């Protein structure tokens, strides 16, 4: 077994999962061990997303897994979906990001807000990985506050013309389809934010890779440019009305991150424990030293608390009772915990911890993006502060 793939379950949380959920978790874990961990170090150093894995992810039902079977999806519980995200991020945050964007930010809005034709056309192709999607909300000047977006969709006799720039877009350069959020300009109607399905081969659509990243190196992060891109009215998501629809997509993706962050933390923890038992200093394994044992105890505590949060959140989601604010608490807490665990694991590994052969520093660097995207840590503090006090501090 590759270090980092052991189960971490100090509170026997696995006993609360159904047999199917455990089977799904173990199947994805085995796949990650065999297929992701064998390529990820090289892909990371080469700064490339391992695109060759996408058809396998589709075949195994990992894309939009909690959406219904009628569209070629796996139709699993939200807890099983979370476990898939956990196992993927145990491999690398970039692999989980791919699945999050494809499932929660592209397939979910098509399923929730799309027409029957849009669902038929896109969902099976996206579920199988034959088509790739991206989600364009953020702009160069509007990240935390997407309400200010300046991308426009101007109504014409035949449809819409889109103009604007979207920044930091995961999967952007390899996508066949972009979900673009834009301010509408329509004669006689107030402007509002709406979502559009834009095939990326349309004239005027360009994507370029974001250079200079030091995080999520095995992930495609791109800038999208829309220069008078014409789409018919049938490309508009008919049920998406206002920014609220885009924010609902974020809730789905953030839910996946609550679980995904656990996977990254578990990988770092397991690697650190195994290193602590084997590495000798001052005549004894460093794992026999009290300072390292405290480190390990802190990591295990954080992971165990995070597992309980994820499990209860999953239950609430499966019962249809989960609120966006509850997701904010989970995203904020679990990602911060994972950042702390990755950093402490890297330190425990000494000089070896800076090598790509070990996963701690890769996860540590990746998690800085996870801390920032899908609502920064600060934004989730403000969401929680507002929920508790009723006062906005944005
Ligand atoms: P605000 O007035 O608070 O809300 C407008 C309406 O939307 C409702 N709402 C939500 N509904 C569902 N889910 C959510 N998460 C929601 N948040 C708000 C809200 O109740 C309201 O409804 P109604 O009926 O009263 O009209 O809107 P605001 O413009 O003040 O914004 C609030 C704020 C700052 C929290 C929001 O803009 C925000 O979350 N900002 C962060 C932006 C962000 O997270 N961007 C992520 C981009 S995608 C990405 O990063 C992908 S990374 C790749 C990966 O996932 O792996
Ligand atoms: P800003 O909003 O400029 O924030 C800068 C700093 O100010 C942060 O520390 C923030 O917390 C703080 N801040 C902001 N507002 C307040 C406030 N009111 N009070 C106190 N502090 C505040 N976006 C997409 O649409 N699609 C994607 O696929 C996507 N993928 C991404 C992939 C990566 C690798 C990264 C890094 C980002 C991605 N994003 C994507 C964008 C991401 O969602 C934004 O970066 C994020 O929402 C923050 O926006 P910003 O970077 O513009 O930061």
**How far is the centre of ligand 2, averaged over its atoms, from the C-alpha of 208 (Å)?**
19
Tell which atom from ligand 1 comes closest to the C-alpha of 137: 47
Q: What ligand has the least distance to the C-alpha of 331?
A: 1
Is there a contact between 221 and 209 (Cβ–Cβ < 8 Å)? yes
* ∠ CA 384-385-391, rounded to 5°: 125
Residues 6+ apart with CB under 8 A from 319: none
| Ligand 1 in reach of 379 Cβ (< 6 A) | yes
Ordered by start, the domain boundaries in the chain are 13-133, 134-242, 244-389
Tell me the average pLDDT across 266-281. 98
The model's pTM: 0.98
**How far is the centre of ligand 2, averaged over its atoms, from the C-alpha of 146 (Å)?**
9
Radius of gyration of the chain (CA): 21
Tell me the average pLDDT across 119-138. 98
Percentage of the residues of the chain whose pLDDT score is greater than 90: 97
- The encoded tokens of residue 167 equal 């920044």
The Cβ of residue 274 has, within 10 Å, a number of other Cβ atoms equal to: 16
**Residue having the nearest C-alpha atom to atom 19 of ligand 1:** 244
The CATH architecture of the domain made up of 13-133 is Orthogonal Bundle (1.10)
How far is it, in rounded angstroms, from Cα 217 to Cα 362?
Answer: 9
**Residue having the nearest C-alpha atom to atom 14 of ligand 1:** 247
**How far is the centre of ligand 1, averaged over its atoms, from the C-alpha of 324 (Å)?**
9
| Ligand 1 in reach of 383 Cβ (< 6 A) | yes
DSSP characters over 32-54: IIIIITTTHHHHHHTT---GGGH
Class level of CATH domain 134-242: mainly beta
Give residue-wise pLDDT tens across range 307-334: 999 999 999 999 999 999 999 999 999 9
| Ligand 1 in reach of 146 Cβ (< 6 A) | yes
DSSP 324: H
| Ligand 1 in reach of 246 Cβ (< 6 A) | no
Pocket residues for ligand 2 (CB within 6 Å)? 101, 135-138, 143-144, 168-170, 216, 221, 369, 372-373, 376, 378-379, 394
What angle do helix axes 78-91 and 243-278 make, rounded to 10 degrees? 50
| Ligand 1 in reach of 243 Cβ (< 6 A) | yes
**How far is the centre of ligand 2, averaged over its atoms, from the C-alpha of 215 (Å)?**
14
| Ligand 1 in reach of 210 Cβ (< 6 A) | no
Q: With left for phi above 0 and alpha for psi between -120 and 50, is residue 188 left, alpha or beta?
A: left
**Residue having the nearest C-alpha atom to atom 11 of ligand 2:** 378
**Residue having the nearest C-alpha atom to atom 18 of ligand 2:** 394
pLDDT reading at 175 higher than 90: yes
Is there a contact between 256 and 65 (Cβ–Cβ < 8 Å)? no
- The encoded tokens of residue 228 equal 């008078």
pLDDT reading at 116 higher than 90: yes
161 bridge partner residues: 154, 230
Give residue 125's pLDDT band: very low, low, confident or very high (50, 70, 90).
very high
| Phi, psi (deg, nearest 5) at residue 152 | -120, 155
Whether CATH 3.40.1160.10 fits 244-389: no
How far is it, in rounded angstroms, from Cα 298 to Cα 309?
Answer: 17
Tell me the average pLDDT across 15-32. 97
**Residue having the nearest C-alpha atom to atom 43 of ligand 1:** 375
Is there a contact between 357 and 41 (Cβ–Cβ < 8 Å)? yes
Alpha helices in 114-156 (DSSP H): 116-127
Give residue-wise pLDDT tens across range 366-393: 999 999 999 999 999 999 999 999 999 9
Tell which atom from ligand 2 comes closest to the C-alpha of 134: 28
Catalytic residues: 374
**How far is the centre of ligand 1, averaged over its atoms, from the C-alpha of 389 (Å)?**
18
Q: What ligand has the least distance to the C-alpha of 100?
A: 1
Query: What pLDDT was estimated at residue 190?
Result: 87
Q: What share of the chain is helix, strand, coil (3-state, %, to 5)?
A: 55, 15, 30
**Residue having the nearest C-alpha atom to atom 17 of ligand 2:** 394
pLDDT reading at 3 higher than 60: no
pLDDT reading at 99 higher than 60: yes
Percentage of the residues of the chain whose pLDDT score is greater than 70: 98
């Amino acid at each position: 077994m590759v270090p980092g793939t052991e189960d971490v379950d100090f509170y026997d949380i696995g006993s609360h999962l159904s047999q199917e959920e455990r089977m799904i978790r173990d199947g994805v874990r085995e796949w990650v061990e065999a297929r992701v961990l064998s390529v990820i170090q090289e892909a990371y150093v080469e700064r490339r997303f391992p695109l060759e894995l996408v058809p396998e992810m589709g075949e195994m039902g990992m894309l939009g897994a909690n959406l219904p079977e009628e569209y070629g999806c796996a139709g699993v519980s939200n807890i099983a979906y979370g476990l898939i995200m956990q196992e993927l991020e145990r491999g690398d945050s970039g692999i989980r990001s791919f699945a999050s964007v494809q499932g929660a930010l592209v397939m979910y809005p098509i399923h929730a807000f799309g027409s029957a034709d849009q669902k038929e056309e896109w969902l099976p192709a996206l579920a199988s990985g034959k088509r790739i999607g991206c989600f364009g909300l953020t702009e160069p000047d509007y990240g935390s506050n997407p309400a200010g977006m300046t991308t426009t969709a101007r109504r014409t006799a035949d449809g819409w013309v889109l103009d604007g720039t979207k920044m930091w877009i995961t999967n952007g350069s390899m996508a066949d389809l972009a979900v673009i959020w834009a301010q509408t300009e329509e004669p006689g109607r107030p402007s509002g934010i709406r979502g559009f399905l834009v095939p990326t081969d349309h004239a005027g659509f360009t994507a370029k890779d974001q250079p200079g990243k030091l995080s999520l190196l095995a992930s495609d992060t791109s800038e999208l440019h829309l220069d008078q891109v014409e789409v018919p009215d049938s490309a508009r998501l008919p049920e998406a009305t206002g920014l609220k629809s885009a924010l609902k997509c974020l809730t789905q993706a953030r839910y996946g991150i609550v679980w995904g962050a656990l996977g990254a933390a578990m990988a770092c923890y397991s690697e650190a424990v195994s290193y602590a038992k084997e590495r000798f200093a001052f005549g004894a394994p460093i794992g026999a030293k009290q300072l390292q044992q405290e480190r390990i105890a802190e990591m295990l505590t954080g992971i165990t608390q995070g597992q309980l949060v994820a499990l209860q959140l999953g239950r609430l989601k499966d019962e249809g009772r989960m609120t966006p604010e509850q997701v904010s608490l989970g995203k904020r807490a679990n990602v911060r915990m994972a950042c702390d665990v990755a950093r402490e694991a890297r330190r425990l590994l000494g000089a070896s911890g800076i090598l790509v052969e070990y996963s701690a520093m890769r996860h540590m660097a990746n998690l800085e993006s996870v801390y920032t995207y899908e609502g920064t840590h600060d934004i989730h503090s403000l969401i929680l502060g507002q929920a508790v006090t009723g006062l906005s501090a944005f």
